[in-house]
Amino acid sequence: MLRYPVLLLDYDGTLAETRPAIIRSLREAFEDIGRTPPSAAELAERLGKGDALQGFYKGLVNDSSPEEAERYVAAYRKRYAQADAEETFLYDGVHEVLPILKQRGYRLVALSNKHGPTLRHSLARFQLDGFFEVTLGAEEGLPRKPEQEVFQHRLAPLFPSVPAAGFLMVGDTTADIGFAQTLGMDVCWASYGHGVAEVCKALKPTYHIDSLWELPTLLAKTES
């Protein structure tokens, strides 16, 4: 019997190394709207918080208006397509591990704060979309991790027979850990991703993996 029949898998920093493309696009977007970009190190540190893009910008530019934040988001998305195509790659084991999980009977959900259309395009580009029963990215007007409403309004209606305890969140940032813990859901921290290690460890995630290859073995220990 599966303790966690539904696995919620983050994308950025869990399935794919997107950090080079993201940081490049973040910097280029600052320049596009006439702002001096922060250092790559500052952007990387902020990225580890797992914020949605608009909140990310407001966190870095305290005096920004909502309109400026919207212009920044638009500039970022325009830049990201090319950067993503040139610099993003999957972590080792993704194409091997996902079929193993499917064969064992796990139901896979891609749950990300990445812009929904971009997430769907990215999964298709890497031929991962067929592994996922559901793909949930960031959509205008809908809740995002770590908001618990993500579960109530976006996940629970799709899996009405599965309680929160039947889901396992697998992700790399405090947004993933906080989302799961708010709901009383177990969480597996992907330590190889974008999260700030000391901050994520302090939140005491249920499990942690140093490579996606470790996930099937970890899950096997929870099966009865």
Mean pLDDT score, 156-167: 97
Banded model confidence at residue 191, pLDDT cuts 50, 70, 90: very high
Mean pLDDT score, 142-169: 96
Distance of CA 85 to the CA centre of its chain: 18
Partners of 9 in beta bridges:
110, 170
Mean pLDDT score, 178-185: 96
Could you tell me the two tokens for 207?
Answer: 């499990």
Burial label, 49 (beta-carbon count in 10 A; 0-12, 13-18, 19+): middle
Is the model's pLDDT at 127 over the cut of 80? yes
Give the residue from 195, 198, 149, 153 showing the smallest Cα distance to 176: 195
Q: DSSP for 61-119?
A: -TT--HHHHHHHHHHHHHHHHHHHHHH-EEPTTHHHHHHHHHHTTPEEEEEEEEEHHHH
The rounded distance, in Å, linking the Cα atoms of 10 and 156 is 17
The rounded distance, in Å, linking the Cα atoms of 197 and 189 is 10
pLDDT (tens digit, 9 = 90+) per residue, 131-143? Answer: 999 999 999 899 9
pLDDT (tens digit, 9 = 90+) per residue, 32-44? Answer: 999 999 898 888 8
Mean pLDDT of the chain: 94
66-70 LR contacts (CB < 8 Å, sep 24+): 68/33
The rounded distance, in Å, linking the Cα atoms of 93 and 213 is 6
Mean pLDDT score, 169-198: 96
The rounded distance, in Å, linking the Cα atoms of 181 and 165 is 11
The rounded distance, in Å, linking the Cα atoms of 198 and 209 is 15
Could you tell me the two tokens for 146?
Answer: 């770590």
Give the residue from 168, 174, 203, 202 showing the smallest Cα distance to 188: 168
Share of the chain above pLDDT 90, in %: 85
Could you tell me the two tokens for 102?
Answer: 């499917």
Could you tell me the two tokens for 204?
Answer: 């005491």
Is the model's pLDDT at 169 over the cut of 80? yes
pLDDT score of 40: 86
- The answer to which of 50-59, 62-71, 101-110, 121-130 has the lowest mean pLDDT is 50-59
pLDDT (tens digit, 9 = 90+) per residue, 44-100? Answer: 888 777 677 887 888 888 888 889 989 999 999 999 999 999 999 999 999 999 999
pLDDT score of 135: 98
The conformation of residue 19, written as its DSSP 8-state character, comes to H
Share of the chain above pLDDT 70, in %: 100
The pTM assigned to this predicted structure is 0.90
Banded model confidence at residue 165, pLDDT cuts 50, 70, 90: very high
- The answer to which of 46-50, 96-100, 193-197, 215-219 has the lowest mean pLDDT is 46-50
Spell out the domains of the chain, with CATH numbers in brackets.
6-17+89-222 (3.40.50.1000), 19-87 (1.10.150)
3-state SS, residue 176: helix
Banded model confidence at residue 114, pLDDT cuts 50, 70, 90: very high
